[in-house]
Each structure stands twice: as C-alpha cells, then as structure tokens.
Amino acid sequence: MTCYITPMKSGGRMFICGNLGPQCICGDLADVLCDYPVGNEKTCDASLCSRCAPEIAPNINYCAGHLQMWQAYRETSGDTKVLENVVPFKQSLAGITAAAKGE
C-alpha cells in the first residue's frame, strides 16, 4: 500500500495511505496536469502536484521538461506575436514587455 506525506498550510504534515489516484514524479498526489500542447489539440497531461508544476500563466502549468522547452523558446524567439493570440499569456507578456523596457 502506498503512503503519501502531504504538507499542510499549518506547517504540519498529513499522512494518507491507499490507492488515491495519480501521483506526481515527486511522490505526492497529483492535483494538476501539464498543459503543454503536444499536437492534435492535445496536451502533455503528465500528473503533477502544485509544487512541481509552476504556473506560467493563469491555470497553465508545465512539467519540468516542457518548462525548459518553453523557457528556451521565450529566450531565443523574442517573437511574442504568436503568444499574444493566446489569452492567458496576454497579461503575462504585457508585464514582461514593460519590465524589459524599464517601465
């Protein structure tokens, strides 16, 4: 039987044992999926916990491998025209552009 140790907001830890569903690669219970597009209107869907899946835009999380690909694309591309058409990224890009201009 699998046991999970989950940190609580109060600072304590909660222990849960049993088959509770998908696990993240770190062993914690998965509560989000990787949203990286992989083609044919599908996403990666790797099971992740909130701590292992940084939110790169509102409700958009990437697994570690796809996060690296995303960061490499952003650093080398400089082309934000495509990303401006993706609604969750508009606000993020506005902040990045303003910061780059020193505003």
pLDDT digits (tens, 9 = 90+) for 7-21: 788 988 887 776 666
More confident site: 78 or 27: 27
Residues 23 and 95: their CA atoms lie apart, in Å, by 34
Which alpha helices (H) appear in the chain, and where do they start and end?
64-77, 81-84, 87-100
* Residue listed under structure tokens 């939110």: 55
The yes-or-no verdict on residue 77 having pLDDT over 60 is yes
The per-residue pLDDT for 55 is 86
Residues 51 and 36: their CA atoms lie apart, in Å, by 17
Query: Whole-structure pTM over 0.95, yes or no?
Result: no
- Give the highest mean pLDDT range of 16-20, 31-35, 86-90, 99-103: 31-35
